[in-house]
């Protein structure tokens, strides 16, 4: 690719990129229900003349742009789903009336990836290798990344490197956050059932009250992070749901709790789960109750150092070195599965409008981003791909 030619192409597509983002925003769809979104993506990929345009992972889409020159195979991933929220942005293209909202920026991810694909398709004569686009459904819920991998998105042709963006509200537009190593945390969802023995609330000595046991367990579990994890490491343990009992005069049989553990290093994750198990064993034994502790873990998003360095170099060339930051988040993202299978980098693209005082976080009903980050994303994506196909 000839880089000096990229910016006019990005500018020429700019109105279209914004219009695409707004259209997807207005018609946001929930995880695994992205039928219209999928149709828009497939139509656009066919219209630009991409190869191997097809549905993938039920409601996702994929296509291949094959360069004329030999080179590596890159995967560009964009997630496409919205969230179950009633939008409060007041934007003219808000998802009015519906309780689905693009409150994480995935509408922008799709718009950026479609523009990158269109420009790459026009640049095939000078493109070395190929770029496979993965428009991934169900990032927010269920886990569409693994389904795309099961559907062969990494295998034809075999992918050498993986890249993608997450628009990032904490960073302002014109900045990029590029970090080697773990960048999004491993996320361990857990469910605990405390089993006691129900009875009459007036005679607790004849029962094993799971509510009292659960109350002790909640407090004791909060000591796992503070007492069992090295203060220089990061760990979070949150119980977000607790459910038990039906009436004030009945001691129930059991209490259910669910929550999440966030960590960056595998040994810390294992230690937190192990200590939580010990705490539950001790607390339940003290009252003669039993417990069940089920966990499922989404791994951390781990950037390959060489790929992160390549992306940081591309970002510094475009945005200036002072606008390339390092940082990581205890949020999770199933981009992790792609990066477990091939080296790559997940880049956070600054989306905060510096003029605006109100900065609403991702997943907030007022979340929005500065649309200037779209063109920046398209150009930076092309530069990253160009650099990755050359090296």
Residue 67 or 105: the one with the smaller Cβ distance to Zn ion is 105
Min dist CB 30 to Zn ion, Å, is: 12
Residue 107 or 304: the one with the smaller Cβ distance to Zn ion is 107
Residue 120 or 176: the one with the smaller Cβ distance to Zn ion is 176
Residue 291 or 346: the one with the smaller Cβ distance to Zn ion is 346
Which region, judged by CB under 5 A, interacts with Zn ion, from 99-107, 149-157, 186-194, 228-236? Answer: 99-107
Residue 53 or 145: the one with the smaller Cβ distance to Zn ion is 145
The length of the chain is 391
Residue 67 or 351: the one with the smaller Cβ distance to Zn ion is 351
Q: Which two tokens stand for residue 208?
A: 């094993």
Min dist CB 164 to Zn ion, Å, is: 11
- Cα-flanking dihedrals φ and ψ of residue 141, to 5°? -155, 140
**Which ranges in 201-329 belong to alpha helices (H)?**
210-228, 266-287, 305-319
The reply to whether 65 sits near Zn ion by the rule CB under 5 A is: no
Min dist CB 97 to Zn ion, Å, is: 22
Min dist CB 362 to Zn ion, Å, is: 5
281, 303, 306: which is closest to 292 by C-alpha?
281
The reply to whether 177 sits near Zn ion by the rule CB under 5 A is: no
First to last CA, the chain: 13
Residue where the block lists tokens 């992306």: 311
Min dist CB 100 to Zn ion, Å, is: 13
Using DSSP bridges, classify how beta strands 301-303 and 60-66 pair: parallel, antiparallel or unpaired: unpaired
The reply to whether 312 sits near Zn ion by the rule CB under 5 A is: no
Half-sphere exposure of 263 (CA within 13 A, CB side): 23
Residues 224-263: x where in contact with Zn ion by CB under 5 A, - otherwise, as a string:
----------------------------------------
Which region, judged by CB under 5 A, interacts with Zn ion, from 28-36, 102-110, 258-266, 298-306? Answer: 102-110
Specify the DSSP class assigned to residue 208: B
Using DSSP bridges, classify how beta strands 128-136 and 69-79 pair: parallel, antiparallel or unpaired: parallel
Which region, judged by CB under 5 A, interacts with Zn ion, from 100-108, 129-137, 182-190, 259-267? Answer: 100-108
The reply to whether 30 sits near Zn ion by the rule CB under 5 A is: no
What distance in Å separates the CA atoms of residue 178 and residue 169, rounded to the nearest whole number? 15
The reply to whether 114 sits near Zn ion by the rule CB under 5 A is: no
The reply to whether 104 sits near Zn ion by the rule CB under 5 A is: yes
Rounded to whole angstroms, the maximal C-alpha distance in the chain is 82
- Cα-flanking dihedrals φ and ψ of residue 100, to 5°? -125, 135
CA angle 327–331–335, rounded 5-degree value: 90
Min dist CB 106 to Zn ion, Å, is: 6
Residue 7 or 364: the one with the smaller Cβ distance to Zn ion is 364
- φ/ψ region of 173 (left if φ > 0, alpha if ψ in -120 to 50, else beta) reads beta
Residue 52 or 371: the one with the smaller Cβ distance to Zn ion is 371
Q: Is 30 helix (H, G, I), strand (E, B) or coil?
A: coil
Q: Does residue 77 contact residue 165 with C-beta atoms inside 8 Å?
A: no
Min dist CB 272 to Zn ion, Å, is: 23
Q: Which two tokens stand for residue 152?
A: 């062969």
Min dist CB 167 to Zn ion, Å, is: 8
What distance in Å separates the CA atoms of residue 293 and residue 286, rounded to the nearest whole number? 17
Q: 179: which residues sit within 8 A by CB, 6+ positions away?
A: 303, 308, 326, 327, 328
Name the residue whose CB lies closest to Zn ion.
104
Min dist CB 156 to Zn ion, Å, is: 27
Number of amino acids touching Zn ion (CB under 5 A):
1
Which residues contact Zn ion by CB under 5 A? 104
């Amino acid at each position: 690719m000839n880089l000096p030619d990229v910016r006019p192409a990005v500018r020429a597509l700019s109105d279209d990129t914004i219009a695409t983002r707004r259209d997807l925003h207005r018609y946001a769809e929930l995880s695994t229900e992205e039928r219209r979104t999928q149709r828009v993506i497939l139509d656009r990929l066919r219209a630009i003349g991409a190869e191997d345009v097809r549905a993938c992972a039920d409601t996702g889409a994929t296509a291949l742009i094959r360069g004329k020159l030999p080179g590596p195979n890159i995967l560009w991933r964009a997630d496409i789903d919205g969230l179950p929220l009633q939008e409060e942005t007041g934007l003219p293209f808000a998802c009015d009336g519906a309780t689905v909202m693009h409150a994480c920026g995935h509408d922008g991810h799709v718009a950026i990836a479609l523009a990158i694909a269109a420009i790459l398709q026009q640049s095939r004569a000078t493109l070395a290798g190929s770029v496979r686009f993965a428009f991934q459904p169900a990032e927010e819920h269920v886990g569409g990344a693994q389904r795309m991998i099961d559907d062969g998105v990494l295998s034809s042709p075999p992918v050498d490197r993986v890249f993608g963006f997450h628009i990032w509200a904490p960073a302002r537009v014109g900045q990029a956050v590029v970090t080697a190593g773990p960048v999004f945390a491993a996320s361990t969802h857990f469910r605990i059932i405390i089993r006691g023995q129900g009875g009459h609330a007036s005679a607790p000595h004849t029962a094993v009250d799971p509510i009292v046991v659960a109350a002790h367990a909640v407090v004791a579990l909060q000591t796992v992070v503070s007492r069992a994890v090295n203060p220089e490491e990061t760990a979070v343990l949150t119980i977000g749901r607790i459910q038990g009992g039906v009436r004030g005069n009945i001691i129930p049989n059991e209490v259910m709790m669910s929550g999440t553990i966030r960590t960056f290093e595998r040994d810390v994750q294992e230690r937190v789960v192990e200590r939580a198990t010990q705490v539950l064993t001790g607390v339940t034994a003290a009252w003669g109750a039993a417990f069940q502790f089920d966990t499922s873990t989404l791994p951390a998003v781990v950037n390959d150092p060489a790929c992160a360095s390549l992306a940081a170099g591309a970002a510094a060339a475009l945005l200036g070195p002072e606008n390339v930051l390092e940082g990581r988040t205890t949020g999770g993202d199933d981009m992790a599965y792609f990066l477990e299978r091939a080296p790559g980098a997940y880049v956070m693209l600054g989306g905060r409008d510096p003029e605006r005082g109100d900065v609403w976080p991702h997943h907030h009903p007022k979340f929005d981003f500065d649309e200037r980050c779209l063109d920046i994303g398209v150009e930076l994506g092309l530069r990253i791909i160009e650099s990755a196909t050359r090296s």
